[in-house]
Structure 1
Amino acid sequence: MSPSGSVEAQPSAWAMRGPENPVARWPLAGRERELEVFARVLASRRSRGLVVAGAAGVGKSRLAEEYLGQAVRAGFRGARATASAAAAAVPLGAIAHLLPSEVDLSDPIAGFAAVAAHTREGRRPWAILIDDLHLLDTASVVLLRQMMDAGLIRLISTIRSGEVTTEAMQTLAQGDAVTRIDLAAFSQGQVGAVLEAALGGPVGPHTVRHLYEASGGNALYLRELVHGSLASGVLASDGETWHLVPGSRLLGTTTRLTELIGNQFAAVGPTARPVLELLALCGPLPLTQVQVVASWQVLADLKHAGLILASQDGRRTCVALADPVYGEVVRAELPVLRRREILLRQAEQVEAYGARRRGDALCIATWRLAATGTAAPAIVLQAATVARNAHDYPQVITLLEALPEPRRTAQTRLMLGDALSQMGKWKQADAVLAEAEDYAADGQEKLAITLARTANLAWSNADPTQALEANSAAWSQEASPTSRRILSGPVYYALDALARLQRIRGRYEDCLATARKSGEICRALGFHNPGISAWRDDAALALHALGKTEEARAMVADELTMARHWNAPGFLGRSLRVSGLVAEDGDRLRFLWESQTILDSSLARLEHAKTLTALGAELRRHGSRTEARPLLRQALDLATQCNATPLMEVARTELAAAGGRPRRDALTGPAALTPSEHRIAELAATGATNRQIAQQLYVTPKTVEVHLSAAYRKLGITTRTQLTSALAPGPSGP
Structure 2
Amino acid sequence: MRTRTSAGEPVVPCSEAVPAGERTPLLGRDAACRVVAGALHADPPGNLVFAGPAGAGRTRLAREALSLAGADGRPTRWAAGTRAAAQVPLGALAHLFPAIDTGADTLSLLQQATRAVVGDRAGPRRVLGIDDVHLLDPLSITLLHQLAAGGAVGLVLTVRTGNAVQDPSASLWKDGLATRVEVAALGREDAERLIGHRVDGEVQMRTVERLWRLSGGNPLYLHELVEDGLRTGRLRQVGELWQWAGEVVPSQRLCEIVLAHLGDLDADEWRALQVVGTVGTCSVEQVLELSSPDAVTALERRRVIDDDVSGSGEVRVAHPLYAEVVRSLVPEAMRQRIRRRLAQDQVAGGVGAAVAAGADEHLLDRAAALVDSGTTAGGVALLTAAARRAVVRLDLPLAERLARAAVAEGGGFPAHAALVEAVRWQGQPALAEQLAAAAPPAGSDDDRARLAAARALTLFCGLGDVGRARTVLLEARAAVRDDGARGLLDATEAMLAFLGGYPLRAVRQGTTVLSVPAGPARPLAAAAVAAGLAVTGRTGQALTTVEEGRLALESHPDPAERVYARMALAQAEILALGLSGLFGRLQQRAAELHQQNLATAPEWIGDAISSVHRGWAALASGRPRVASRWLAEALPALQERDPVGMLSTCRAGLAAARALVGDVGAARPLVDGSQPAGAEAIAVFEPLRRMAQAWVASAEGRSSQAGALVLEAAALAARQGQEAVEAVLLHGGLRLGQGPRVVDRLCRRAERLDAPFVADLAAHATAAVADSAEGLDRASSRFEQTGALLFAADAATEAASAYERRGERRAAAAARLRAATLAHECGLTQTPALEALSLPGLTAREREVARLAGAGMRNQAIADRLVVSVRTVESHLSSAYAKLGISSRADLGAVLPAAARRVPDRPRTGGDARTRGRHGVTAGRGGAPSSG
- Alignment TM-score, normalising by the size of structure 2: 0.36
**Higher Cα radius of gyration:** 2
- Alignment TM-score, normalising by the size of structure 1: 0.45
